[in-house]
Chain A
Amino acid sequence: MMSIQSSRMKSYLGIWTGLICIVGIEVFLTYRSLSAGELIACLLVLAFTEAGIAVMYFMHLKYEKPSLFWSLIPAMLFVLFMMNQVWPDAYRLAMLKLPIH
């Protein structure tokens, strides 16, 4: 029992190190000369990678029945995609200019 626990903690430590490295890459990219659009795209890809690793391993979704994953994650991604790209507010926000100073 103890050895299973310690081997699992070792793998968590490896994942934690990987996540810290991804944060380091994010900071590195921030100080490259990228446009706001390019930077946000790169940071989002890295953030989703980090979040995916954390959800699958730290939150143990990888070790649950696949039905839990398929019930929760695609539905959430669908809602986020629709909010971002399709629903009317997304268009309103895209066109929104802020004259407020």
Chain B
Amino acid sequence: MRIHERRLDSNDTDSIGAGGIVSESEMALHDGNVDPAAFTEPSPYGIQSKKLTIWLFIISDAVTFGAVLIAYSYLRVGTPDWNRPFQFSPSIVNGMIMTFILLSSSLTMLAAVAAAKAGQKSETLKWLVGTIILGAAFAVLHLKEWFHMFGEGWGLSHNPTGGPIIFGAAFFSITGLHLLHVISGVIALIVIAIGFKTEWLDANHVETTGLYWHFVDVVWMFVFPLLYLMNAAH
């Protein structure tokens, strides 16, 4: 940036700063005919601040899930009479269907982001609605399984088989935390779809929400093997 020396009068120094030496773009800003973005420092990561923010959220959330999954894994391996209540059908099959649904929803989300970046509004909305439906289907299947387990006598501090009660606490708290993320994601996707339709939000918002949605999928990649497969009855 070329430095242009200009002696400012007293009013200029009040608004721009002391020293009397300003760049051309600073003078232009002062005159009101330049984009303030010209003064912002480029991102060291080459991404928008909203994208960096969601990445930082994802990392902190990953550590939260890591903490609960690590604690659960110690308990699971270190407890000799741990329950393995999940029959192949319906529990493991249900878990596999849920995994298939969530992985497929990541694919529809990718299609939505690609369409949004290409400026195809109706395609974007179509794929976003598809993702919302798949996310909602995942949540419904999850809740159905929960209520089935409640019906069998499982609870946060109840184990109908007489095994360690910590099983219910671990299972319902971890899957509940994940389910909360899925439901929040579905709500966020509905808001994004409405915002994108009314042009209140743009393709970058769709992409940022997509990152969160993929993260929910990544967490399930750990929850399914550790909580379902590790507890499958043989």
Hey, which bits of chain A sit against chain B, CB under 8 A?
Answer: 1-2, 5, 8-9, 12-13, 16, 19-20, 23, 26-27, 30-31, 36-37, 39-40, 43-44, 46-47, 50-51, 54-55, 58-59, 64-65, 67-68, 71-72, 75-76, 79-80, 83-84, 89-90, 93-94, 96-98, 100-101
- Please classify the interface of chain A as helix (H, G, I), strand (E, B), loop, or mixed, using the class held by over half of its residues: helix
Asked if B67 and A83 sit within 8 Å, CB to CB, the answer is: yes
Closest 6 CB pairs of A and B: A43-B225, A93-B74, A30-B229, A68-B45, A80-B66, A50-B221
Asked if B232 and A31 sit within 8 Å, CB to CB, the answer is: yes
Given known contacts A1-B118, A51-B222, A55-B218, is B63 in contact with A40 (CB within 8 Å)? no
Closest to B162 in A: A101
With the chains together, A101 CA to B71 CA distance in Å? 19
Decide yes or no whether B224 CB sits under 8 A from chain A. Answer: yes
Residues of B near A20 (CB, < 8 A) are 100, 103
The B66-102 residues at the A interface (CB cut-off 8 A) are 66-67, 70-71, 73-79, 82, 88, 92, 96, 99-100
With the chains together, A47 CA to B227 CA distance in Å? 12
Closest to B114 in A: A5
Asked if B106 and A64 sit within 8 Å, CB to CB, the answer is: no
- The 8 Å CB contact of B62, one of A27, A46, A76, is A76
A-B contact count (CB 8 A): 142
Asked if A51 and B221 sit within 8 Å, CB to CB, the answer is: yes
Asked if B230 and A65 sit within 8 Å, CB to CB, the answer is: no
Residues of B near A76 (CB, < 8 A) are 59, 62-63, 66
Decide yes or no whether B215 CB sits under 8 A from chain A. Answer: yes
Residues of A near B176 (CB, < 8 A) are none
List 21 interface pairs A-B (beta carbons < 8 Å), by A numbering.
Answer: A1-B118, A9-B114, A12-B110, A16-B104, A20-B103, A27-B96, A39-B230, A40-B76, A43-B225, A44-B225, A47-B222, A47-B226, A51-B218, A54-B214, A58-B214, A64-B46, A65-B46, A68-B55, A80-B62, A83-B67, A89-B71
The B33-54 residues at the A interface (CB cut-off 8 A) are 44-47, 52
